Amino acid sequence: MAIKSINPATGDLIETFEELSDGELHAALQAVGPVAVDWRETSLGKRASLMKRAAVVLRENAAKYARLMAKEMGKPVVQGRAEVEKCAWVCEYYADHAADFLKDEAIESGAGRSYVRFAPLGTVLAVMPWNFPFWQVFRFAAPALMAGNTAVLKHASNVPRCALAIESLLLKAGFPENVLRTLMIGSSRVGRVIAHPVVKAATLTGSGPAGSQVAAQSGKMLKKTVLELGGSDPFIVLPDADLSLCAGVAAQARTINAGQSCIAAKRFIILDGVADAFLDLFRRNMETLVIGDPLDEKTQVGPQAREDLLQELHAQVTRSVEKGARLLLGGKPLSRPGFFYPPTILDGVKPGMPAFDEELFGPVAAVLRVKDEEEAVRMANRTCYGLGAAVWTRDTRKGEALARRIEAGSVFVNGMVASDPRLPFGGIKASGYGRELSHYGIREFVNMQTIWIK
């Protein structure tokens, strides 16, 4: 099957790639094996030097990579450059801190000396999504490679040129060939890669069904997995919140990357006393956002990444309105080339509507009005997801107390949920398991080996 790169701002075909044949796939995996042995023996100092060089290559080519993302999946170039900078940051972070994160940990026992060492597992399969086509890869790769693992990358089929660019930039930085190898294959062949003896573990960022399939296939082979899946993050606004500030952040949190982010704010849970005032400010902020060509520096909201995603999003909005949600803004695809959906606000959303029960992967805000903090927490937790959440209040003690009651991997008080190399990132429930980033992330794909000496 051909893998196609299509410009979502125009619908035009950019380039077509042929999938690897069975023989080519087997040869690629076989080639990775010997490199994994050599790479695990490479000193941490050498790995750190190469990782810092990767950060340099990223920054030197930031404009080029931002344009590539804009053309291949519709990310505005301003956001694309920020994504490249974040990739450089995570490379430098692990180059600077991996030695400390991976140092032997002494533990007292009945032995003369006992400790835990953190040894690489080998080659890890990374199944990555299209929405942050550079960051998602580097979020995994920087800690995994610094830990001494190698990787095979099955990137999303609509961003093949991004996948090849990442492999190329690592080679340019001096990494040995096949330390990270792109596999140009479709999703149906992921199971075959998981089953290959050279692959020791797998990580996936993507949809729930895809995560479930990878987990099942890996489980049959007794191989470790980390899954970062969907989210329907609550954004709770209490009566004492700075409404002007949080309404502006709310618009950004809902529309960044055209709303195509797992940790985007999606369900806006507003207490009755301030709901009208918040919605007035929120709507004004959403209305002023510039929609357009992602290559234009002024664009803030680009297209949806694929036509089928646009159609699915509009169907969710339509069904929610049919069930009683009130459309305050937007609500239908734009009449122009490409896959554009405008910033949209649905008020009066309730459980049982797609806007509440499902993940809206686009710039659509679902607004719920609640009577008090207790109902706000109940509504926040009344979801199968548990990735991120935000609470807005001038009383930070109250905000922290509410944060501790919310079922999510990350809760931000008076801030927009974001991933940070210094903090663990991941979810619970249908949002997945395991953690990326910080010292927790680098230890996901290692053998925590106990050494006991009498």
* Homologous superfamily in CATH for domain 2-229+429-453: Aldehyde Dehydrogenase; Chain A, domain 1 (3.40.605.10)
232: its two tokens: 């329907």
d(CA 363, CA 378) in angstroms, rounded, equals 24
The pLDDT, as a whole number, for residue 278 is: 98
| Confidence category of residue 235, pLDDT binned at 50, 70, 90 | very high
Q: 233-413 domain in CATH 2.60.40.10?
A: no
pTM across the whole model: 0.97
Percent of the chain residues topping a pLDDT of 70? 100
| Confidence category of residue 91, pLDDT binned at 50, 70, 90 | very high
The pLDDT, as a whole number, for residue 348 is: 98
pLDDT at residue 69 is higher than 80: yes
What digits encode the pLDDT tens for the residues 334-344?
999 999 999 99
pLDDT at residue 208 is higher than 80: yes
Mean pLDDT of the chain: 98
423: its two tokens: 């903090």
What digits encode the pLDDT tens for the residues 287-324?
999 999 999 999 999 999 999 999 999 999 999 999 99
Contact 429, 384 (CB under 8 A): yes
The pLDDT, as a whole number, for residue 46 is: 98
**What value does the mean pLDDT take over residues 144-173?**
98
Q: Does residue 228 have an active-site annotation? A: yes
**What value does the mean pLDDT take over residues 327-334?**
98
Contact 142, 218 (CB under 8 A): no
Annotated catalytic residue: which of 228, 358, 373, 407? 228
| Domain 233-413 in the same topology as domain 2-229+429-453 | no
**What value does the mean pLDDT take over residues 199-210?**
97
Contact 67, 295 (CB under 8 A): yes
d(CA 354, CA 380) in angstroms, rounded, equals 15
| Confidence category of residue 27, pLDDT binned at 50, 70, 90 | very high
| Confidence category of residue 1, pLDDT binned at 50, 70, 90 | confident
What digits encode the pLDDT tens for the residues 340-356?
999 999 999 999 999 99
Could you write out the three-class secondary structure of the chain? CEEEEECCCCCCEEEEEECCCHHHHHHHHHHHHHHHHHHHHCCHHHHHHHHHHHHHHHHHCHHHHHHHHHHHHCCCHHHHHHHHHHHHHHHHHHHHHHHHHCCCEECCCCCCEEEEEEEECCEEEEECCCCCCCHHHHHHHHHHHHCCCEEEEECCCCCHHHHHHHHHHHHHCCCCCCCEEECCCCHHHHHHHHHCCCEEEEEEECCHHHHHHHHHHHHHCCCEEEEECCCCEEEEECCCCCHHHHHHHHHHHHHHHHHCCCCCEEEEEEEHHHHHHHHHHHHHHHHCCCECCCCCCCCCECCCCCHHHHHHHHHHHHHHHHCCCEEEECCCCCCCCCCCCCCEEEECCCCCCHHHHCCCCCCEEEEEEECCHHHHHHHHHCCCCCCEEEEECCCHHHHHHHHCCCCCCEEEECCCCCCCCCCCECCCHHHEECCECHHHHHCCCEEEEEEEEC
Annotated catalytic residue: which of 87, 91, 162, 262? 262
Q: Does residue 162 have an active-site annotation? A: no
Q: How many residues does the chain have?
A: 454
Contact 79, 298 (CB under 8 A): no
The pLDDT, as a whole number, for residue 245 is: 98
d(CA 438, CA 55) in angstroms, rounded, equals 18
What digits encode the pLDDT tens for the residues 242-283?
999 999 999 999 999 999 999 999 999 999 999 999 999 999
- Residue ranges covered by each domain of the chain: 2-229+429-453, 233-413
Beta bridge partners of 446: 120
**What value does the mean pLDDT take over residues 393-411?**
98
